[in-house]
């Protein structure tokens, strides 16, 4: 698919033509990763963060957040529940929290591996090479780090670096993760103020160049207690060039990600359910996605992990989420996957 073809699909509004895109992506999903929907149990380990991202509710300067950091035993209880529910994977996610030390995460990974058969995905932000190597050696299987946008100016406007002398280089970090043997995941936000259709098409092309094993995409949803939580027009671009952060565009990017990376694992995200609580995740699953991440975080913490406003399922128990997600999957005539659900890309390299 050429760059111009991707741009044209991103701009497409004709329902008949879009139905063709959905069907092509769904067929390619079936041909390459099958009909099973793999469940990744999400554990939001900590909402501490040292970063100052302009849109995220966890940013360090947001004094309205009640901070928490789960204990090892609390995380292990969640992992045990994932095993009980027969999920193949747990995802340990947090803000960029130095309080989750190299040794603490290494010990936690080893305990989960010793006590369960789960695959482990880490999503802990930008970390040092030595930490990443130690966690991989301890048994972590995957690492998820979204590059958010490959437009460097746009990225730096909303993601100030931790240190002025060391700008973020997430593309380089993704390369390091691949060399360490991780299954590598990344993705983007859709509808960042100032993001053009050309920018987003470049992002989709980069998915293929990086040969990603996992691709997570979602709409730009700024938290109200952030600098970008009020109206932010971004750089001066014409309105017809601005990518909308809406439900339809998110489905388009899921489908185009499937067409450019047919063997990747692609989740239908909680953010989609936030845009459309009735059927957002289901529509994602029939437009190229093959993964859902039910939340295992204890309810007393879940509402505090508020990256964006209006997040769904913040009061439900893990059991309620499990029952709901299984019902939604079966309503589509699909089955829940078994085992870790590694991407065929990763399996072919190893």
CA angle 272, 44, 292 (to 5 degrees): 35
Residue 316 DSSP label: -
CA angle 221, 237, 57 (to 5 degrees): 20
Q: Which residue has the higher pLDDT, 162 or 142?
A: 142
CA distance 63 to 262: 42
| Angle in degrees, 0-180, between the axes of helices 197-210 and 3-11, rounded to the nearest 10 | 130
Long-range pairs of 284-287 with CB within 8 A, sequence gap ≥ 24: 284/250, 284/251, 284/254, 285/37, 285/329, 285/332, 285/334, 286/22, 286/26, 286/332, 287/21, 287/22, 287/25, 287/26, 287/251, 287/254, 287/255
Q: What is the pLDDT of residue 233?
A: 63
Where in the chain does DSSP place strands (E)? Answer: 38-46, 89-94, 119-123, 142-144, 183-190, 214-219, 291-292
Confidence of residue 289 (pLDDT cuts 50, 70, 90): very high
CA distances from 108 to 80, 105, 115, 238, 247 (A): 13, 5, 11, 49, 36
User: Over the chain, what is the mean pLDDT?
Assistant: 94
Checking if the pLDDT of 161 tops 70, the result is yes
CATH of domain 3-341: 3.20.20.70
Q: What is the pLDDT of residue 237?
A: 86
Q: What is the pLDDT of residue 34?
A: 96
DSSP annotation string for 113-161: HHH---EEEEE--S--HHHHHHHHHHT--EEE---B-S-HHHHHHHS--
- 40-87, pLDDT tens digit by residue? 999 999 999 999 999 999 999 999 999 999 999 999 999 999 999 999
Checking if the pLDDT of 149 tops 90, the result is yes
Q: What is the pLDDT of residue 345?
A: 80
- 237-265, pLDDT tens digit by residue? 888 999 999 999 999 999 999 999 999 99
**b (16+ CB within 10 A) / e for 227-242:** ebbeebeeeeeeeeeb
Strand 119-123 versus strand 89-94 pairing type: parallel
């Amino acid at each position: 698919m050429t760059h111009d073809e991707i741009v044209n699909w991103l701009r497409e509004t004709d329902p008949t033509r879009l139905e063709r895109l959905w069907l092509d992506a769904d067929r390619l999903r079936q041909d390459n990763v099958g009909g099973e929907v793999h469940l990744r149990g999400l554990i939001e380990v900590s909402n501490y963060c040292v970063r100052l991202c302009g849109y995220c509710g966890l940013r360090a300067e947001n004094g309205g957040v009640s901070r928490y950091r789960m204990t090892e035993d609390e995380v292990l209880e969640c992992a045990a529940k994932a095993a009980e529910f027969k999920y193949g994977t747990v995802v340990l996610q947090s803000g960029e929290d130095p309080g989750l030390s190299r040794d603490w995460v290494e010990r936690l990974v080893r305990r989960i591996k010793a006590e369960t058969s789960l695959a482990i995905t880490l999503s802990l932000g930008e970390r040092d090479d030595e930490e990443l190597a130690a966690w991989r050696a301890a048994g972590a299987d995957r690492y998820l780090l979204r590059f958010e946008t490959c437009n460097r100016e746009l990225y730096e406007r909303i993601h100030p670096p931790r240190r002025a002398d060391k700008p973020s280089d997430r593309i380089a970090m993704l390369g390091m993760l691949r060399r360490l043997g991780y299954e590598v995941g990344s993705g983007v936000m859709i509808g960042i103020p100032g993001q053009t259709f050309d920018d987003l098409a470049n992002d989709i092309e980069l998915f293929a160049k990086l040969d990603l094993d996992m691709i997570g995409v979602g709409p730009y949803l700024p938290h109200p207690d952030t600098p970008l939580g009020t109206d932010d027009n971004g750089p001066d671009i014409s309105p017809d060039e601005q990518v909308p952060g809406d439900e339809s565009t998110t489905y388009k990017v899921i489908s185009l990600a499937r067409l450019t990376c047919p063997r990747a694992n692609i989740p239908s995200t909680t953010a989609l359910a936030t845009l459309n609580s009735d059927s957002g995740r289901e529509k994602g699953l029939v437009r190229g996605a093959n993964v859902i991440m039910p939340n295992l975080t204890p309810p007393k913490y879940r509402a505090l992990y508020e990256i964006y406003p209006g997040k769904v399922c913040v009061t439900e128990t893990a059991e309620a989420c499990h029952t709901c997600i299984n019902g939604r999957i079966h309503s589509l005539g699909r089955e829940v996957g078994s085992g870790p659900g590694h991407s065929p890309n990763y399996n072919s390299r190893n």
